[in-house]
Structure 1
Amino acid sequence: MKASEIRELLKLLDQPDIISFAGGIPDPELFPAAEFAKAMSEAMTGPRASQALQYSVSEGYAPLRAWLADHMGGIGVACGVENIFITSGSQQALDYFGKLLLSPGDTAMVGWPTYLGALGAFNACEPRYIPLDPWSNAAPEDLRAEAEAAGGAVKMAYLSADFANPTGETLDAEGRGRLLERAEALGIALIEDGAYQALRYDGDPVPPILATDIARNGGIENSRTIYCGSFSKTLAPGLRVGWVCAATPVIERLVLIKQAADLHSPTLNQIATERVAREIFDDHVAGLRRVYGARRDRMLAALSREMPEGVTWTRPEGGMFVWVTLPAGNDSAQLLERAVREARVAFVPGAAFFPDGSGRNTLRLSFSCADEARIDEGIARLGRLLG
């Protein structure tokens, strides 16, 4: 295990002259603070106060699980309360997936690049990583043989299908179907990270992989896809409320891990999150889409205006990130040192998102926490460094 480059870069946010495109964090000015203050106050008065401060069940607060079952149904995933498990942020779920599915030497298929936090969670289980490519023609028997030769077995695939961290890209329906077929052929779990699913700014929504799995196999109890969601990007990250939606045998095993880890997620936070989600979730997320969508548009326009020839970038339909590729031979880690020292701009070097440390000529920009004027100025400064 090693320190997260992103967590270290977040320390730069305390320096007011730094324009940071580093942390993929929501804008605190957009938190529904008043609604949470009211919900917390109500949870701490009357008969619910003792419940809010008491030990609780490991599965999570029942009304929140019921709301989430309805929410998942709204995005095409037919499930019941028994298929919902509350975690302390989706990061805890990733940690649990590693413990549940991986032993040292096993093979995990991941995006190339992929979410740095997932690698941090899985690394503790000492897996071998291979690229998860929906368009690969590699035969399942060959993948199994390679995994066995490396000392383990292919155990899981992990991806963020919507507006992925770090690339911002979305996998289309055909690609999702191919990955599901690959997982079925290998007999492995397919982990779908839906942290950014609600933050679509344009384009048509693509059904979650879990929805396709359910439709193909006759219900969630026959599915192999494990959906991981979070309120961190929509309501508030500091409360650390996430969830897993999966077949009940998976939920039952995750409950055992949680009982050994922290017993249950904070009840007060769950009560407040349920109240706020039930009252304002859809309207609040619609407001986030307007603000973040405008910032994405501003960053894409600034990149088109300021970047020199040879620099390319993704054009995400949602989420918080733009992925930039520099001409071959550039090192984004070295560029970051110069950017902070000379231009007072921060971003995340791309190599951190590759299990093998490749991709040194790539970098991740986040547009969620910078206003439009700072986006213009920050990209202009980067352009001058690269020019």
Structure 2
Amino acid sequence: MTLAAQYATRIGRMKASEIRELLKLLDQPGLLSFAGGIPDPALFPAQAFADAFQAALSPEHQAQSLQYSVSEGYLPLRQWIAAHMAKIGVQCGPENILITSGSQQAIDYLGKLFLSPKDTALVGWPTYLGALAAFNAYEPRYDRLRSGENQPPERYAQAAEAAGGRVKFAYLSPDFANPTGVTMTHAERLQMLDLAETLDTAVIEDAAYQDLRFDGEPVPPMLALEQDRKGGDIEACRTIYCGTFSKTLSPGLRVGWVVAASPIIQQLVLMKQASDLHSPTINQIVTYQVAEQLFDTHVAELRSVYMRRRDAMLAALKEHMPAGVTWTKPEGGMFIWVTLPEGISGAQLLERALEQEKVAFVPGQAFHADGSGENTLRLSFSNSNEPAIAEGIARLGHVLKTAM
């Protein structure tokens, strides 16, 4: 018996994540991995979480911690997030915040909220492959979002209409983007807001890495810029901000959030109720306790450590990469994007690197909605110390020189 013939049409667009598959290789002895965008577990505030869990499971608190909760999320945590958002220029209240199971769930919900089959999502070339995976289930078409270019807005609208749908949103990661590490300038963000206004479409701001700035001048979130334009009224904003504790406190607890105008939050709450009722209560409680206790000092430590690792990788790339190879120079985050000479396949290079030198990375093609970018790759520096980075990039450079 097979039920494959009964599957929904969307199933054909759902593919395994290359990163998830690569993570299965990490147990190989001697493997140096720059693949997953994984925080260093040695830097997790484990003792603070252990204390918070112990407190949450004490007799006076265990009934709340282990019980069902409201779909919107634990109120003290939403209040903490509102105060955190105010520090970066976004004025909002708990009614503008939904707690999600990581920002990945938020991205999935937003795809479900906006996309009907044949609608258009504007995304970067490349863009976060997890967003593509989430959006694919809702059967959209993709159009290339050309940040910093004077692309006529009507060209997007006409192409979407010709495909049988409408432009529903622009998805972007303005700060230290996954996978490129690139940060949008102030002018580019305003240009994107202008485009969204002209097209009357939403902006999904994936801010997973915003807190991890090492150097350079901070740029306000797009939601802050739009709110400023609209007299401070978040209810008038079309930008939807997705945040997460995965890159700062712990990815395993799966605690993220959405900040948006209250009608958007209300619709997402309905999805949350239908999906998993609410994010785990105890995880929200302990995340609040740890964030309240040490968020700022802990993030400062992360920035210091990750900056040294970024610098080590940039230095190693400069020393070991052959002529014709270029790379980004991020001001924060976890990633460096490498462009190889035309004709060099990132996927084939990975096969050689694993076999010959036991070095892993993510080929760049998976980050392109149109399947381009064959000669690109993503390197993550967050989960390797400086000696490992120097050794791994040297090995990668050796493989690449033999392939050219």
TM-score greater than 0.5 by the shorter chain: yes
1:260 alignment counterpart:
274
Structure 1 residue 120 and structure 2 residue 153: aligned? no
Q: Which moved more, 1:207-216 or 1:47-56?
A: 47-56
* 1:78 Cα offset (Å): 0.9
- Paired position in structure 2 for 1:150: 163
Deviations 1:276-328 (A, max 9, x none): 00000000000000100000000000000000000000000000000000001
Match of 1:175 among 159, 167, 188: 188
Deviation track 1:154-196 (CA, whole Å, cap 9, x = no partner) reads: 0000000000000000000000000000001000000000000
Q: Which residue of 1 aligns with 2:198?
A: 185
More displaced 10-residue stretch of structure 1: 127-136 or 196-205: 127-136
CA displacement, residues 351-374 of structure 1 (integer Å, 9 cap, x when unaligned) = 000001100000000000011111
In structure 2, the partner of 1:270 is 284
Alignment of 1:333-344 (within 5 A): 333-344=347-358
Q: Which among 40, 43, 49 is matched to residue 36 of structure 1?
A: 49
Counterpart position of 2:178 = 165
In structure 2, how many angstroms separate the alpha carbons of the residues matched to 1:201 and 1:139?
35
Give the CA deviation at 1:93: 0.3
Q: Percent identity?
A: 67
**SS state of the match for residue 214, structure 1?**
helix
Partner of 2:79: 66
- Provide the rounded CA distance (Å) in 2 between the counterparts of 1:199 and 1:135: 23
SS of alignment partner, residue 26 of structure 2: helix
Counterpart among 225, 240, 261 of residue 239 in structure 2: 225
State the alpha-carbon separation in 2 of the partners of residues 140 and 314 from structure 1. 28
Give the Cα–Cα distance (whole angstroms) in 2 for the partners of residues 122 and 346 of structure 1: 27
The SS at the match of 1:103 is: coil
Equivalences for 1:309-320 in 2 at 5 Å? 309-320=323-334
Q: Residue 3 of structure 2 aligns with which residue?
A: none
Alpha-carbon distance between aligned partners in 2 of 1:106 and 1:362, rounded to the nearest angstrom = 28
Quick one: which amino acid aligns to residue 383 of structure 1? G
Q: 1:365 — aligned with what?
A: 379
- Letter of the 2:400 partner, please give it: L
Q: How far, CA to CA, are the matches of 2:375 and 2:163 in structure 1?
A: 29
Aligned equivalents of 2:151, 2:381: Cα separation in 1: 36
2:104 is the counterpart of 1:95: no
Deviates more, 1:76-85 or 1:297-306: 76-85
Alignment pair present for 1:195 and 2:208: yes
In structure 1, C-alpha distance between the alignment counterparts of 2:242 and 2:135, rounded to whole Å: 15
- SS of the aligned residue for 1:190 comes to strand
Counterpart of 2:65 in structure 1 is 52
RMSD: 0.7
1:17 partner SS: coil
1:287 aligned partner: 301
Moved more, 307-316 or 132-141: 132-141
Instruction: Select the residue among 245, 253, 262 that pairs with 2:259.
Output: 245
Query: Could you tell me which amino acid in structure 1 is paired with residue 108 of structure 2?
Result: D
Out of 374, 382, 385, which is 2:396 matched to? 382
Whichever residue aligns with residue 327 of structure 1, its letter is P
After TM superposition, the runs of 4+ consecutive aligned structure 1 residues lying more than 4 A away are none
Moved more, 171-180 or 10-19: 10-19
| Pick aligned residue for 1:304 from 318, 332, 336 | 318
Offset of residue 142 of structure 1? 2.8
Look up the equivalent residue of 2:241 and give its one-letter code: Y
Bigger shift: 131-140 or 212-221? 131-140
What is the aligned residue count? 387
Give per-residue Cα distances to partners, 1:322-362, cap 9 Å, x unaligned. 00000011000000000000010000000000001100000
Contact 2:74 2:281 in 1 (8 A): yes
Say which SS state the counterpart of residue 278 (structure 2) adopts. coil
Unaligned runs of 5+ in 2: 1-13
Q: 1:329 aligns with which of 343, 348, 360?
A: 343
1:195-252 C-alpha deviation (Å, 9 max, x unpaired): 0000000001000000000000121110000000000000000000000001000000
Unaligned runs of 5+ residues in structure 1 are none
Q: Distance in 1 between matches of 2:224 and 2:128?
A: 22
The 3-state SS of whatever aligns with 1:60 is coil
Question: Residue 239 of structure 1: SS of its match in structure 2?
Answer: coil
Q: Displacement of 1:254 after TM fit?
A: 0.2
**1:207 — aligned with what?**
220
Amino acid of the structure 2 residue aligned with 1:158? Y
SS at match of 2:204: strand
What SS does structure 2 have at the residue aligned with 1:243?
A: strand
Helix, strand or coil at the partner of 1:233: coil
